[in-house]
Amino acid sequence: MNGTVSSSRRPTANSPVRKARRVPMPRVWPVRAGDIYAILGGNALLILGMWIRHGNMHELATPAGVFTAVGEISALYGTYLVLIQLILMSRNPWLDQVFGQDRITAAHRWVGFSAIWLLVTHAVFTTVGYSMTVSSSPVGELLTLLTSYPYVLWSGVSLVLFVAVAVSSVRAARRRVSYETWYAIHLYTYVAIALGFLHQLFVGIDFTTDVVARVYWIGLYAVAIGVLVYFRFGQPISISLRHRMRVANVVTEAPGVVSIYLAGQELDELPVRAGQWFRLRFMTRDGWYKAHPFSISAAPNGRYLRFTVKGLGDYTSKLQRVAVGTSVFVEGPYGAFTGAARTKARILLVAGGIGITPLRALLEELPASKGNITLIYRASRPEEVVFRDEIEQLAALRGAAVHFLVGKRGSADMPSDPLDPRALRRLVPDVAERDIYVCGPAGMLERTLRGLRWLRIPDAQIHYERFAF
């Protein structure tokens, strides 16, 4: 099927509030958190077993040996964490499904810093251990290691790159650099991994003499790199080639906010759900090398995907003027902020500003019966409310209740926070009996989540999407 969208200012024949055609649901992966922890724990034990099997326990008999042993173990586990990090960076849908983006981001941070601390420990303890064994100075030993052991100089450069990536990710530094700079520095992680690999095989005590250990170690690298390449490159290339998406229409929704309609081939066979998001790469001369995440703002309908973008920075401001016909390379869909996360029949959707996009799509797709859906839409100013007509039409069609809470917090009209937990309970008395989906600016999101926890709503009922990593 060749999807097309009317070129009128607002598509009418394809109006987003018309009944959506069903598209395939994203695959549900038969993976549970316990399986993943068992695989990770099993490999961690295998690594320790490998180190013991190589007779390294005897090193613990002398102080120099203890340093060397700590150096070896920290190298093994530091590298293991780096490989786990590759899988966390792979944007694969089963991790998304099991843990959700927020926990993956938190794990990415924790695993990354731990890996680098372990690799620094490896360098320091190995150097000191060797220097104690041959009674030389640590600095002299370091020079010997760097200049006369195979590929150790490469691994030294690798460690410097890893540390640079870690420094750029420390919160204080992260706040000072742009997303693009931070991301570019992160790409050095791949160079660091490549540079560090060979010295493990040629110098690592566990691999120089044991073919089985070598094969196992190379196998771990192959799995991690395979998962990364498949999900980061293989799948997006295959989806983009198959669906050949292009901009079919650009519609102004509010000042500084446009909806971009993407049409393409066989969109009725693209598995995606309301609440999910894609990374979009607009193939223009100055845009093809940047990919930014955007949620679909209408339920998938097999004819087009709609994204609604607020111009907040350089990229999103330029997108306001994207030309119809521009080809778009898509990665995704990603995210577990969907109807699949529901645990209750009744639902509360809480949107702030442009955070309405995934909730607008959910309002259209979630099963509606007997007024089970309530939407609260918070904005500081009336012109920040997008989709007001569409939302009212959808709410009427689906029997949903909608509350637009518009006004500046602390102003005469809105002296207190309308999303404060008591106010929320007054507005939606059965809030504790609902699944709650929240998306909005960071401050509003955090306050709302705190409020929901104050109301003792179980975590399983609270679902949220952050618009920043």
Contacts with ligand FAD, residue ranges (CB under 6 A): 178-179, 277, 291-295, 308-310, 312-316, 354, 357, 465, 467-469
Enumerate the β-bridge partners of residue 305: 262
Helix (H, G, I), strand (E, B) or coil at 28: coil
Minimal distance, residue 279 CB to ligand FAD, in Å: 7
Minimal distance, residue 299 CB to ligand FAD, in Å: 14
DSSP strand pairing (462-465 vs 305-310): unpaired
For residues 261 and 357, give the distance between their C-alpha atoms in angstroms, rounded to a whole number.
13
Between 186 and 425, name the residue whose CB sits nearer to ligand FAD. 186
Minimal distance, residue 38 CB to ligand FAD, in Å: 29
Q: By C-alpha distance, which of 4, 15, 16 is closest to 299?
A: 16
Between 59 and 365, name the residue whose CB sits nearer to ligand FAD. 365
Which residues fall within 8 angstroms of residue 113, CB to CB, at 6 or more apart?
Answer: 166, 169
Minimal distance, residue 459 CB to ligand FAD, in Å: 20
Between 196 and 352, name the residue whose CB sits nearer to ligand FAD. 352
DSSP per-residue string spanning 172-184 = HHHHHS-HHHHHH
For residues 266 and 16, give the distance between their C-alpha atoms in angstroms, rounded to a whole number.
18
**Which tokens is 395 given?**
């709410």
Minimal distance, residue 297 CB to ligand FAD, in Å: 6
Between 77 and 277, name the residue whose CB sits nearer to ligand FAD. 277
**Which tokens is 106 given?**
């938190």
Q: How many residues can be counted in the chain?
A: 469
Between 63 and 313, name the residue whose CB sits nearer to ligand FAD. 313
Between 264 and 335, name the residue whose CB sits nearer to ligand FAD. 335
Between 200 and 357, name the residue whose CB sits nearer to ligand FAD. 357
**CA dihedral sign, ordered 465, 444, 435, 38:** positive
Minimal distance, residue 448 CB to ligand FAD, in Å: 17
Minimal distance, residue 329 CB to ligand FAD, in Å: 13
Which residues fall within 8 angstroms of residue 433, CB to CB, at 6 or more apart?
Answer: 344, 346
Between 211 and 468, name the residue whose CB sits nearer to ligand FAD. 468
Between 187 and 211, name the residue whose CB sits nearer to ligand FAD. 187
Element spanning 164, H or E: helix 152-169
Angle, alpha carbons 107-334-278 (nearest 5°): 125
Across the chain, which distance is largest between two alpha carbons, in Å?
83
Minimal distance, residue 248 CB to ligand FAD, in Å: 18
Minimal distance, residue 468 CB to ligand FAD, in Å: 4
- Tokens 């394809």: give the residue: 14
Give the 3-state secondary structure percentages of the chain, helix then strand then coil, rounded to 5: 55, 15, 30
Q: By C-alpha distance, which of 417, 337, 415, 345 is closest to 376?
A: 417
